[in-house]
Amino acid sequence: MNTYGARHSDKCTKEEAHAFKKKVQSFLIGEKIPYKKLVALTSFGGQVKIFSGGTMHKMRLRMGRKLVAFKNPDGRVEGESVEFCEELLKRGGDILYIKTNEPIPEKEYHPVYLQDSWKEERDSILEWGKTNREQTESETTGTS
């Protein structure tokens, strides 16, 4: 194991990653922790991502562009709001972007690493499963 922690360039074999995925999957089933999907990766010395089915938001490192209005080939203008469509017609052109720093939505997952001790990873999965189960129950009952 690397003393500074695993890097993306540290690889394990596909067989090791698949065996680790089976180990994590059997643990999740045994503990009755809900999940949507498991993905085994060879990077970081072996990694399994446990997807919960929820959405998380990743903060942008710098300002990004967001498409807010555009002109179709037939000449119609479509956009998020009437103001943006009017702005596109006023400025001319085919596309209107705005600068934004709003977070990027992505699928929520919990990473588990092969190089870390199984006791440490097992405890993190149990903690994540407890939090995930509480969020799932609050969404189904409608409470916050």
The tokens describing 22, both together, are 């089976």
Give the whole-number percent of the chain exceeding pLDDT 90: 57
Beta strand pairing call for 77-79 and 64-71: antiparallel
pTM, two decimals, is 0.67
Q: Per-residue pLDDT for 119 more than 70? A: yes
Position 63, amino acid:
M
Q: For 52-64, write each residue's pLDDT tens digit.
A: 888 889 888 898 9
pLDDT band at 116 (very low <50, low <70, confident <90, very high): confident
Chain-wide mean pLDDT for the chain? 86
Binned at pLDDT 50, 70 and 90, residue 1 comes out as very low
Reduced to 3 states (helix: H, G, I; strand: E, B; else coil), residue 52 is strand
Q: Cα(123)–Cα(119) distance, rounded to whole angstroms?
A: 6
* 3-state SS, residue 102: coil
pLDDT, one tens digit per residue, over 126-141 is: 999 888 777 766 666 6
